[in-house]
Structure 1
């Protein structure tokens, strides 16, 4: 199976945005690449930026309750299923738009109906003042002379805010404050933070991704089928767990497994998350290692099945995640520190402790026996569990 293109380092910058009282209330997302590849697709670049800022930093609570300001390309705005969530914490910019026409106005209406705030540059506002004022939540100023006094006087009644760009002196700050501006960003107040992802190979299971996306849009969606497909794309598995256990979706209590995570997120959020991550090409997996991991997961589930005190799904998750570091090309300790897994599963993975740890050890020992055996192993119950796991893995992967 051909591998996906290897992506180089990718970085995003978060520019702090302050209110008139100098409180850090928002961040503006700016993204770029550390390569000379001018042909890089804008949709893929946007997807990777959103993955980092929304689905990683946001879910880790690094952004806290601050609003994220994002300029999105028009191609992205044309696909509402890709708009990131949660909408109340996001303000979407349309800086790439050049002309105010009926199509743009319709897009803005749809975005605002979904709960997003719209950021509009003054050059677009001036093209059709009345139409754009009705569709603007934040207006970007690059100069104190961008808007006349009459227009400025109309803004408070419409709850339209003013954002000052590239503030670089105290004199400018005082002048804009006198105008009643609401948001400020620039090096005078704070420097941006740069966050870079490490380069890594992308060995994406493209067939699984295509089948998964197709399943997301079938008329009669089967969440069990979605679960089967997701476990074959490890990075999606991790991302969905993180998303479902994030502060926005999960209100405390027991960590949720993949089955429950799919139900919590729902079809719309799953579509948004999976499409974004697929465009971002963040699903590294080796088909050979994946087969081994699924076999171990199914065997752990088979071994746990006769014992009522053991959760078979927890056993499956333990087996699968015991090889997740190899699948994702991540350090195991770092990965486990950031995964929303239950403590019994963490203890089993880290220390081979508890009933789940015992099941995992039994499975790993049998794998070693299979690897070293020169003759057929005796058809005992342990080997039957292993052979059944092989069949389950084969059936699951053949569905792709």
Structure 2
């Protein structure tokens, strides 16, 4: 359970913790995803359940990556009623995600319909801290896993009944080996608690600088238009460093099982698919990532637009030119060193060589733009190129950055 303490902070230093879930042989088979307001927090401080879940999912899936975080193990996420009723959030990887329905959820027809839809899509559903009441009785028909907080007592008759009916039972807050053995004897097959391991805080090097909600809202509008145009989607994504980072990582994750690293943004969008892309954008919006420093973002976009224009002039791939320019400034924009960034992002070899060694056509292009920024443009670079690129960057900021 995530917790309910009030915390009005708007810091972007939030992270996640995961707590192992083990089977009766003490094999580590799953993890629960927990939100943490910062790396030093030992418990959740949640003032908005939807935002907390969004932030936790953004870090786990789009920053760290599920393959790195938990391998092939299942990942339990907490879901409030508001989260479950939002159709934009139904695109999480169903083969690996277990949706935990919080114990204080309001059960109504709309919620039951949403849960049936999730079941049809292939999600595993778990009931968190379950205590049977007339209000939540209908949830049992949809649940696969029932969790009991054993620190509040063990309703033996209910546990035995559910065991006989074939539910998977999970005991949480198991503090001692004796409690583990007692729960195992009652029919529990999954266990979680300090007897095995405390929640482990996970860190990420990514600073969460993104363009504004206005830009992301426009992207969502394109995602839901009657005639979705992928080039338009890629344009919006390419101009948002945090989204671009998330899309590249997700498309190249182990779960997506690409045969070869994917570098083209349009190819990444095809691999992720519109359904999950809608979820990705919605999660990042709900996570409330703070906008980048305006001066840093303008500088990065100016260089990106300049590289894009020069790439077109030289007959090179314009998108690769834009990404080369933007990522050359990315360490400043997202607060991560170049070496770490290149380890985490599956950039193409030409872009990689351009960023590290200024080699190849893209490397030469980038070096020429940098020389132009210093006031020493090569002969074929128009004198007004940087000014035009800067104007385009400022227009984008004024139009889309709140």
Smaller-chain TM-score range? 0.7 to 0.9
Distance in 2 between the 1:89 and 1:383 partners? 53
Distance 1:317 1:203, change over 3 A: closer
Distance 1:385 1:80, change over 3 A: same
How much has 1:203 moved relative to structure 2?
6.8
Contact 1:14 1:29 in 2 (8 A): yes
Distance in 1 between the 2:121 and 2:62 partners? 19
How much has 1:183 moved relative to structure 2?
0.7
135, 140, 144: which one aligns with 1:137 = 144
Distance in 1 between the 2:76 and 2:303 partners? 43
1:172 aligns with 2:176: no
Correspondence for 2:282: 275
Contact 1:325 1:331 in 2 (8 A): yes
**What TM-score do you get using the length of structure 2 for normalisation?**
0.84
1:364 aligns with 2:365: no
How much has 1:15 moved relative to structure 2?
0.8
Distance in 2 between the 1:318 and 1:183 partners? 48
187, 200, 224: which one aligns with 1:193 = 200
Distance in 1 between the 2:345 and 2:163 partners? 50
Correspondence for 1:314: 320
Cα RMSD of the aligned pairs, angstroms, is 3.2
Which one is further off, 14-23 or 389-398? Answer: 389-398
1:154 aligns with 2:158: no
Contact 1:204 1:286 in 2 (8 A): no
How much has 1:77 moved relative to structure 2?
1.0
Q: Secondary structure at the match of 2:375?
A: helix
Correspondence for 1:252: 259
Distance in 2 between the 1:229 and 1:129 partners? 43
How much has 1:58 moved relative to structure 2?
2.9
Correspondence for 2:22: 18
Distance 1:44 1:99, change over 3 A: closer
Larger Rg: 1 or 2? 1
Distance in 1 between the 2:127 and 2:162 partners? 14
Correspondence for 1:31: 35
1:383 aligns with 2:383: yes
Q: Which runs of 5+ in 2 are unaligned?
A: 1-8
Contact 1:43 1:279 in 2 (8 A): yes
How much has 1:287 moved relative to structure 2?
3.7
Contact 2:24 2:191 in 1 (8 A): yes
Correspondence for 1:82: 89
Contact 2:63 2:204 in 1 (8 A): no
Distance 1:38 1:203, change over 3 A: same
Contact 1:204 1:284 in 2 (8 A): yes
How much has 1:125 moved relative to structure 2?
4.1
Q: Which runs of 5+ in 1 are unaligned?
A: 371-376
Q: Secondary structure at the match of 1:127?
A: coil
Distance 1:231 1:6, change over 3 A: farther
Contact 2:103 2:130 in 1 (8 A): no
Count matched residues. Answer: 386
How much has 1:358 moved relative to structure 2?
1.4
How much has 1:272 moved relative to structure 2?
0.6
Distance in 2 between the 1:125 and 1:164 partners? 16
Deviations 1:154-208, CA, capped at 9 Å, x for gaps: 333xxx2110111122222222222332211111122220125689685743432
Contact 1:125 1:133 in 2 (8 A): no
Correspondence for 1:373: none
How much has 1:45 moved relative to structure 2?
2.2
How much has 1:313 moved relative to structure 2?
2.7
Deviations 1:227-277, CA, capped at 9 Å, x for gaps: 222222211111111111112224221422222222222222111101111
How much has 1:348 moved relative to structure 2?
1.3
Deviations 1:120-176, CA, capped at 9 Å, x for gaps: 1474545378743321100112244344476145333xxx21101111222222222
198, 211, 215: which one aligns with 1:208 = 215
Q: Secondary structure at the match of 1:253?
A: coil
